[in-house]
Amino acid sequence: MTKKLGKILVIDDDEDVLVAARMFLKQHVALVHTEKNPQLILTLLKNESYDVILLDMNFTRDASGGAEGFHWLNQILTIDPSAVVVLITAFGDVEMAVNAIKQGAMDFVLKPWQNEKLLATLSAAMNLRQSRAEVDHLRSRQQVLSAELDQQFQDFVGACAAMQRVFSTIQKVAQTEANVLILGENGTGKELIARELHRQSKRKQEVFISVDMGALSETLFESELFGHMKGAFTDAKEERAGRFEAASGGTLFLDEIGNLSLPLQAKLLTVLQNRQIVRLGSNQPRPIDIRLICATNLPIHEMVTQKRFRQDLLYRINTVEIHVPPLRERTEDIPLLVEHFLKAYAKKYQKPLPRVNAATLKKLEKYHWPGNVRELQHALERAVIMGETQVLQPTDFLLVASESREDGLVFDNYNLEEVEKAVIRKTISKHGGNISQAARELGLTRTSLYRRLEKYGL
């Protein structure tokens, strides 16, 4: 073996065993510690992190019951639940060693041991330790990433009566397993609410998976949501789990669910009714355990009346409905939101905290905000970046004027990006949020329109 193994602790009351272990293992192991007295185990583990611990089952002279081994095994795993323990036992104690494995030991070796067998066992134990360390690292990394992502979604500010009703509903329903449907215009904070429901739920330690249903094509729907087997279609180079499996144990958020076609609605309903999925290219059903939250900016109840959305699916997804008011109906919250976002962006861009004067605040409160809180947020971010004084002026905010006629738009300025944003908003609103129809009228593909929506944060 060219590369030496990691760090090993050998605990046995027989000095001959310790000498033999030390002489053999130092050829293959980077660090070998040996100890006769098991009472020193806790001190040793505090001072060093061992990859593998070789532990004798009996320490008292003539003892053969293994009670001491079970005791110290439990102590080790209490200190370090990811510790890898290999037992040293006599031939007659194999049944006892098997019981110890059930209690957390990784394996056992018989003494006198065969060097090749001991080395193979230790190598497997090292691999297990490394795998556990990698899993712990990935779990820690996931927790950090989730915390950072959640931090972006904590701009949940509102004092008006409508928002207080939203907060109250969240508190009542979050701890339950009830399916929730969030209704509101684009930019009102529907994903904020979904994440807050997850954060306050019993599943908060598990994953939160968000899926933009409006961006899923008919051909990718099953593969993305339910997964596929290798060879299920031309580009299926390997087996892959879908979003439902990935979210199992946690929360699945299906955004823009109103954009699904009727055939896809039927497939989704079947999965929700059976609580199991079948990967594309497989006949094997797989159980799922998710908390379902859905959202849409479309008038979904009208769509049911118009036969554009299945009534049975609506019943399935909206045990509780949460209606998020548009910003124009909660203008009293604008000063709070302005203060909140200015603090956030001043800190982000390391700039002094700016203020807004009365004229600026009046302009912000009079504006229609078709893009809702998201539009206000981006307007304030731009003002912090571009502003040249400590007091933000009305001219620091380039806002598209409210519509004055049914057939056109009036602009405060003719910045091309601002004009394009306004035209996109009007067209999407005209078609009730239907991206396909809006893209067709704008002369764009759905993909091109989604790129512009992402670019402008719409």
Q: Quick check: 53 and 8 in contact, CB under 8 A? A: yes
pLDDT of 1 reads 42
The set of residues, in sequence order, having a beta carbon less than 8 Å from that of 139 and lying 6+ positions away, is none
Using alpha carbons, select from 256, 235, 276, 129 the residue that is nearest to residue 190: 256
The CATH T-level fold of domain 153-323 is Rossmann fold (3.40.50)
pLDDT of 413 reads 58
pLDDT of 356 reads 93
- Whether 5-134 shares its CATH topology with 153-323 is answered yes
Q: How many CB atoms lie within 10 A of CB 388?
A: 7
Q: Across the 458 residues of the chain, what is the mean pLDDT of every consecutive 10-residue run?
A: 73 87 86 88 85 82 66 85 83 70 82 84 84 71 58 68 93 96 94 93 92 87 89 81 92 95 94 93 91 96 94 96 94 94 92 92 92 93 90 86 46 68 82 81 81 79
pLDDT of 226 reads 93
The CATH T-level fold of domain 330-456 is Helicase, Ruva Protein; domain 3 (1.10.8)
Task: Name the residue ranges covered by the structural domains of the chain.
Answer: 5-134, 153-323, 330-456
Q: Quick check: 458 and 186 in contact, CB under 8 A? A: yes
pLDDT of 146 reads 59
pLDDT of 377 reads 92
pLDDT of 75 reads 87
Q: Quick check: 300 and 126 in contact, CB under 8 A? A: no
Q: Quick check: 245 and 286 in contact, CB under 8 A? A: yes
Q: Quick check: 76 and 43 in contact, CB under 8 A? A: no
CATH numeric code, 5-134: 3.40.50.2300
Phi, psi of 33 (to 5 degrees): -110, 135
pLDDT of 409 reads 57
The pTM for the full model equals: 0.60
pLDDT of 174 reads 95
pLDDT of 153 reads 43
pLDDT of 375 reads 93
